[in-house]
Amino acid sequence: MASIPADVQKFIEQCVALTGFCEFDLHATGMGQTYLETARDQVGSARFEEFLKTLAQREGTLVKPKDLDSTDREIARAVVYLWYTGAWPRLAETAHTELRPNETNTEFVVSAGSYVEGLVWHTFNGHPVGARPPGFGTWSVRPAEPPSICQITKECGLSQKHEEGHSDGVEAAVLARLRHPGPLTARHVPPSVVPAARAPRQEGDPR
Amino acid sequence: MTVERTGEQVHQGRYDAVIVGAGWSGSLLAKNLSERGWTVLLLEAGEGGTQTWDGYLESVATFRSAVAKVPNSAYHRNVLAPSPDVLDLSPRPSTGNGTPPYTAHGYFVQNGAHPYRTDYVRALGGAGMHWLGAVPRMHPEDFATKTRFGYGRDWPITAADLQPFYAAAERELGVAGNTKEQRELGVITDHDYVYPMHEVPTSHIDEHCRKIDGATITDGMGVERELRVTGLPQARNSTPNPGYDSKKGYRPKGAVGLPNYGERCVGNASCVPICPVQAKSSPLRLQHASNDKVTLATRSVVTRVLSARGKRVDGVEYRTYTGSGTKAKAGAHHRVKADIVILAGHAIENARLLLHSGLANSSTQVGKNLMDHPTTLAWALADSQVGPYRGPGHTSGWEEFRFGKGREKRSPFRIEISNWGWSWSTGAPMSNVAQALGVGGGKNGRVKDEGLFGPELRWALGDTIGRQLQLQIAVEQPADPRNRVTIAPDRTDAMGNPRPIITYDLHDHVRKGVYAAYIASKGIFKELGAKEMTDHRPVDGVPPLGHFLYDGTDLTYQGAGHGAGTHIMGERPEDSVVDSYQKTHDHPNLYAVGCGSMPSIGTSNPTLTMAALALRSAERIHQDLLALRRKATVGAGLKAAKEKP
């Protein structure tokens, strides 16, 4: 592992619990160094070190939003967004004001290569749109089921002390907490600014 | 192969034909006319570059780096040959004093009640670079909606007149399709015909939808249809059909600039805006296949058509530039002469040029009758993994609401089954990541408490993104003179050329069609056991772009990129701009070709019909040129004629 700088190695180890992807998968993107630099650049080097220190206290266990104070929570989300999409998102205003008040708070794609390495495509056994084509006619094939939470947790080598019980019940509870994206109200709205989906309108709802 | 020259180099040249715009129509005509021995100059306002493999890869990288992967995201903005972009429009809260519910920045000036949401790109290949590659033929009844259903305008020709040209266009574009299905739909009438290539395999999503074949759905205007999933003909390389062309077969044409590449679709799933392997057909192929009687000059912005004696035109004036994008620098004005001038820009560009040149407008119809396919989106979560974001944009649809009884009540519509999840409707799958994480803060700007991390996040995204269904329902918009393009002296671009001023709205027949389609989508999702997620309501009091209310129901429309109607075709010079050969009524040697000529566009993506019209025009232009030569022979004697190249 001599070829991998220590800070990148450490960063990747710490991103396993945040992303739900194992160390090997994160390395395989080839983006560790780039993302570490991007995060340092966006958050400030000292502040990002502080964040990583806080995260280190929880190493090897699952991370819940309430485990982190609000700014650390937003940094963690931005880092995961980076891994999943190859882009740095727009941050919550309060976090942005605290971290980088003099920079614009807007989503950007780190590079053409980072887009291709987005992990979101792996979650549903897909491929990045516009890259890594799976071959003629593969779109006809029945897609594989994504792995369960239990399988993912095991694969990542994370302890499961918070996740006892039947996986069906756990997964239903996760779906109940999950927010879907709502309508893209204009084409220039970046993905990280799209509003949450709303409950369908019922008879008698006010307009 | 096409000869490439700069605009400066071709200055003062003389050609049999000059063609303005190197998109589908222009490239088809250039190839066809040069094969008949005529010299052709193809002037393109935009930049080239994509005809080399390195240049093409640069466009692929530009697309990958874009935050909003919209149709123009593979091309940078050029200030001297500007393009309209769907990113130019923003919604605006109603102020109640009659201001429109949107703002428009960029190339188009828009002053209509609702935004014209369609773009195009001024670059080598034109919108034929970012198109999807969907090539359904129009149905016989689409050509006569006025006579048959009492709305819109009739064509001066019929579907039967176009059949041979449709077949010729399908060869030039390289079409893969299921001939039997299209024959059953009634759009192919030749019993012996087969497409050059077997149909592009349909998607697993299509298969998922096929389980409700036979279900009866009622649309919002009470029109009832029994559903059957039907494949989409596509200009995309698939498996060649050995039975094509009396068993001569068909050899797919692949990438330009990289031999033996792109001869079959490999499922990049990014046809719009760019196919990384060029398995999707583009005008670059035609330019590559043309002979050296075609000269191409990019970065040559035609500013006006030049009048000659009498009703004839003489050539065009154009202005060159150097550099690219925002750093482009305007150069000098130039002129070329030609016996035939052919405007083959986008419908809106052709209208703009005619208006600015003060030509072909004795009917006062130039710029009027602007159309698109207003497209309403419907989206839902399926009950199982369906495999979105794989394969071409859509491989099948429901065709039943396109034809027949009911058109008199509301515009017909074609239901495209999307293979690309909720990307168009919600910005997915990136927006799924943002929402699942809870990044970006709440309305108060504070960091959100709730959100997912780690294994829960990965699982939830996989489970739900993998179940995304989206329908894109394209609604016919009839010709209506109120929808129009104009120009004004004080509205110019950086080169001083007039910008298109667009006045646009959705009138009653279309609105009914959009509503009917929305209700049909609800019925479909119910049959599929999918959870409907469609939402056209205002967000925080601001109606989304393209929002309108129909009978109290919130609806929105998108643009389809199908601009048409602006130099409308007809028999009578009093109420139309071009004849059925796309020759202007007013000028015997000026043609305006493209979707701008179409009196109606039915529910078919218009490129194939446009290509068929271009090939039909090529025959007439050839005859015109022959007649001119005969005349020259008689006038100047045989010797002079022999000196002609």
CB < 8 Å to B207, chain A: 140
B316: its two tokens: 């065009």
Partner A contacted by B98 (CB < 8 A)? no
Distance between B417 CA and the closest CA of chain A, angstroms: 14
**Residue B645: pLDDT over 80:** no
B567: its two tokens: 């130099």
| Bridge pairing between strands B3-4 and B294-297 | parallel
- SS3 labels along B58-90: HHHHHHHHCCCCCCCCCCCCCCCCCCCCHHHEE
β-pair partners for B549: B554
At residue B317, the pLDDT reads 98
**Residue B424: pLDDT over 90:** yes
At residue A2, the pLDDT reads 60
As a whole number of angstroms, the distance between CA B340 and CA B18 comes to 7
CA dihedral A9, A11, A16, A18 (to 10 degrees): 180
Inter-chain residue contact A195 with B455, CB threshold 8 Å: no
**Residue B80: pLDDT over 60:** yes
CA pseudo-torsion sign B386, B392, B396, B399:
positive
Distance between A5 CA and the closest CA of chain B, angstroms: 24
Q: pLDDT of B257-279, one tens digit each?
A: 999 999 999 999 999 999 999 99
Partner B contacted by A139 (CB < 8 A)? yes
Sequence length of chain B is 645
At residue B631, the pLDDT reads 87
- DSSP classification of residue B460: H
CA pseudo-torsion sign B334, B336, B340, B342:
negative
Instruction: With respect to residue A176, please indicate whether it lies within any of the assigned structural domains.
Output: no
Of B391, B462, B532, the CB nearest to A139: B391
> What's phi and psi for B579, nearest 5 deg?
-90, -175
Inter-chain residue contact A18 with B453, CB threshold 8 Å: yes
Which residues are within 8 A (CB) of B57 and not within 5 positions of it... i.e. 6 or more apart? none
List the single best residue of A120, A175, A202 to mutate versus B (max B Cβ within 10 A).
A120
CB < 8 Å to B449, chain A: 65-66
B411: its two tokens: 């515009």
Instruction: With respect to residue A154, please indicate whether it lies within any of the assigned structural domains.
Output: no
Lowest-confidence pick of A55-64, B11-20, B305-314: A55-64
Query: Can you tell me which residue has the tokens 């995309």?
Result: B236
At residue B642, the pLDDT reads 55
Of A65, A87, A124, the CB nearest to B438: A65
Inter-chain residue contact B452 with A156, CB threshold 8 Å: no
Range of the domain at A107: 6-130
Average pLDDT over residues B113-135: 98
Chain B (501-560) residues lying within 8 Å, Cβ to Cβ, of chain A: 532-533, 535-537, 539-540, 542, 544-545, 552, 556
At residue B387, the pLDDT reads 98
**Residue B36: pLDDT over 60:** yes
Query: Can you tell me which residue has the tokens 């050329």?
Result: B497
CB < 8 Å to A147, chain B: 459, 462
Give Cα B574 to chain centroid, integer Å: 28
Partner B contacted by A91 (CB < 8 A)? yes
CB < 8 Å to B267, chain A: 127, 133-139
| pLDDT > 90: percent of chain B | 96
Q: If you compute the radius of gyration of chain B from its CA atoms, what whole number of angstroms results?
A: 24
Instruction: With respect to residue A117, please indicate whether it lies within any of the assigned structural domains.
Output: yes
Instruction: With respect to residue A139, please indicate whether it lies within any of the assigned structural domains.
Output: no
Total number of domains in chain A: 1
CA dihedral B627, B629, B633, B638 (to 10 degrees): -140
Helix (H) or strand (E) holding A23: helix A23-28
B299 within 8 A of B305, measured Cβ to Cβ: no
At residue B606, the pLDDT reads 98
Of B60, B437, B458, the CB nearest to A77: B437
A100 within 8 A of A94, measured Cβ to Cβ: no
Q: pLDDT of B155-168, one tens digit each?
A: 999 999 999 999 99
What is the pLDDT of chain B when averaged over all its residues?
96
CB < 8 Å to A188, chain B: 68, 87, 90
Inter-chain residue contact A136 with B266, CB threshold 8 Å: yes
CB < 8 Å to B91, chain A: 185-186
Of B276, B425, B441, the CB nearest to A131: B276
At residue B557, the pLDDT reads 98
Neighbours of A103 (CB within 10 A): 10
Partner B contacted by A172 (CB < 8 A)? no
Structure ipTM over 0.85, yes or no: yes
**Residue B335: pLDDT over 80:** yes
Partner A contacted by B391 (CB < 8 A)? yes
Secondary structure (3-state) at B539:
strand
Chain B (243-282) residues lying within 8 Å, Cβ to Cβ, of chain A: 264-270, 274, 276-277
- DSSP classification of residue A145: P
Average pLDDT over residues B15-37: 98
As a whole number of angstroms, the distance between CA A105 and CA B313 comes to 54
Distance between A166 CA and the closest CA of chain B, angstroms: 14
Distance between A9 CA and the closest CA of chain B, angstroms: 18
List the single best residue of A179, A198, A202, A203 to mutate versus B (max B Cβ within 10 A).
A179
Helix (H) or strand (E) holding B12: none
Of B440, B540, B545, the CB nearest to A90: B440
Band of residue B94 on the pLDDT scale cut at 50, 70, 90: confident
Average pLDDT over residues B7-19: 97
Lowest-confidence pick of A162-171, B328-337, B552-561: A162-171
Distance between A2 CA and the closest CA of chain B, angstroms: 28
Which residues are within 8 A (CB) of B102 and not within 5 positions of it... i.e. 6 or more apart? B89, B90, B91, B92, B110, B114, B115, B545
Band of residue A204 on the pLDDT scale cut at 50, 70, 90: low
Average pLDDT over residues B97-106: 91
Band of residue A3 on the pLDDT scale cut at 50, 70, 90: confident
Q: How far is CA B289 from CA B254, B576, B594, in A?
A: 11, 35, 21
CB < 8 Å to B420, chain A: 129
Size of interface A-B (CB pairs under 8 A): 338
At residue B636, the pLDDT reads 67
Say how many CA atoms lie within 13 Å of A119 toward its Cβ.
30
Average pLDDT over residues B85-100: 89
Of A116, A131, A140, the CB nearest to B204: A140
Helices A6-19 and A45-56 meet at what angle, rounded to 10?
60
Q: Which residue type does B581 have?
A: Y
Instruction: With respect to residue A27, please indicate whether it lies within any of the assigned structural domains.
Output: yes
Neighbours of B69 (CB within 10 A): 23
Give Cα B229 to chain centroid, integer Å: 24
At residue B3, the pLDDT reads 97
Distance between A46 CA and the closest CA of chain B, angstroms: 21
Which residues are within 8 A (CB) of B562 and not within 5 positions of it... i.e. 6 or more apart? B118, B371, B372, B373, B474, B595, B601, B605, B606
CB < 8 Å to B451, chain A: 65, 73, 77, 179
Instruction: With respect to residue A52, please indicate whether it lies within any of the assigned structural domains.
Output: yes
Of A141, A180, A198, the CB nearest to B432: A180
Instruction: With respect to residue A182, please indicate whether it lies within any of the assigned structural domains.
Output: no
| Bridge pairing between strands B468-475 and B300-307 | unpaired
Partner B contacted by A176 (CB < 8 A)? no
B359 within 8 A of B587, measured Cβ to Cβ: yes
Instruction: With respect to residue A206, please indicate whether it lies within any of the assigned structural domains.
Output: no
As a whole number of angstroms, the distance between CA A191 and CA A86 comes to 12
Q: pLDDT of B125-154, one tens digit each?
A: 999 999 999 999 999 999 999 999 999 999
Residue of A nearest to B438 (CA): A77
- DSSP classification of residue B483: S
Q: pLDDT of B56-69, one tens digit each?
A: 999 999 999 999 99
Inter-chain residue contact B389 with A121, CB threshold 8 Å: yes
Q: If you compute the radius of gyration of chain A from its CA atoms, what whole number of angstroms results?
A: 19
Shortest CA distance to A17 belongs to which of A141, A161, A145, A135? A161
Of A118, A152, A187, the CB nearest to B68: A187
Which residues are within 8 A (CB) of B557 and not within 5 positions of it... i.e. 6 or more apart? B117, B374, B375, B376, B475, B506, B514, B546, B548
Average pLDDT over residues B100-123: 97
Q: Which residue type does A71 have?
A: T
As a whole number of angstroms, the distance between CA B146 and CA B127 comes to 30
Q: pLDDT of A133-169, one tens digit each?
A: 999 999 999 999 999 999 999 999 997 654 555 567 8
- DSSP classification of residue B638: H
